[in-house]
Structure 1
Amino acid sequence: MKGKEYGFVLGKFAMDEIDKKILTSLQNDARVTVAHLSEQVSLTSSPCWRRVKALEESGVIRGYHAELDPRRLGYDVTAFVSVMLENHRIDVGDSFEVAVQGIPQVVACHNVSGRYDFMLEVVATDLEAFGEFARNVLRTLPGVKEIYSSFSLKSIKHQRRLPLP
């Protein structure tokens, strides 16, 4: 759409097909130049750059990151750790969330429904290192009542590319 106004529709950023092409291209290669990106989406460089900036400012694009191979960095164990808190007081949950933010081995944390309160994705060099980490770090986090760990045997799909509406 020419002259499209960027804005939010029902809490979501209003996007057209060109925005979706831009996002698809950036998900495939965030290092693409604006010149190459503009060719891919059939725009000139300036409007393409303005669209990328609008997508960044809206929060649709949260950042640009390098995808690292955990095994090549020595992390041979990936564990999914379910955490149950001792109670559901807001201050306990908040304290847990703040503490998790400062632990580099925890690469993802989700507040989940069901028996457990949080699901953590944790990397470790080996099972012994994970065991020490679980005993010395995870069990000592604020409010932790119970932890349950499952281990990844094989990563089947590890690219985080979101489908676009």
Structure 2
Amino acid sequence: MSDDFSIDDMDRAIVEQLRLNGRATNQQIANVLGLTAATVSARIRRMEDANKLRVVAVSDFSAHGYNVLMEVAIEVDGRPASDVAAELAGYPEVFAAHLVTGRYDIDMLVVLREFDDLPGLLLEKFSKVRGIRSMVPAIAVDVIKYKFDVAPIEARGDL
């Protein structure tokens, strides 16, 4: 796809409808926007092909019995941080792992079913990963925002 691909107002309207209801059919979106389902389908496919849009499902961790959300900042020593992050990302409790700049090398978001699972995770699992110098867990006491539509479709036409 060419680099001059641009998103127009109709594309942004389609994306907004998908954000409001990720399960909306092309026909439902078309009805709201005054288009045909074929037009909606073609525009979605065009944005996907240009890597401007990806439709994904996001699951609510609390709906699956995970009651503890925790951020863990990790300092690495003696091993590449990317290797440590890749190993940690293999644990099912880790739902996001990032290499970061600053005091720490890795930042992770972790979910647990209950607080009683915390010692086992930190002391029996994570502490066995070679290269971890320190871990600083921070338990979320309240979730203020939990959204994954973080890549705005900007009015400029380029992303």
Q: TM-score, normalised by structure 1?
A: 0.81
Which residue number corresponds to residue 71 of structure 1?
A: 62
User: RMSD over aligned Cα, in angstroms?
Assistant: 2.0
For structure 1, the 5+ residue unaligned runs are 1-5
CA distance in 2: counterparts of 1:17 and 1:7, whole angstroms = 19
Q: How many residue pairs end up in the alignment?
A: 153
CA distance in 2: counterparts of 1:43 and 1:72, whole angstroms = 35
Identity %: 22
* Deviation for aligned residue 1:109: 1.4
Which one of the candidate residues 71, 83, 88 is aligned to 1:80? 71
Q: Is the 8 A contact 2:94 2:111 kept in 1?
A: yes
* Deviation for aligned residue 1:105: 0.9
- Which structure carries more relative contact order (alpha carbon 8 Å, separation 6+)? 2
CA deviation map 1:45-104 (0-9, x unaligned)? 212101111222233333420432x333221111100011105x6xx2332232233222
Which residue number corresponds to residue 157 of structure 2?
A: none
CA distance in 1: counterparts of 2:104 and 2:126, whole angstroms = 14
CA distance in 1: counterparts of 2:3 and 2:82, whole angstroms = 29
Which one of the candidate residues 115, 131, 152 is aligned to 2:119? 131
For structure 2, the 5+ residue unaligned runs are 155-159
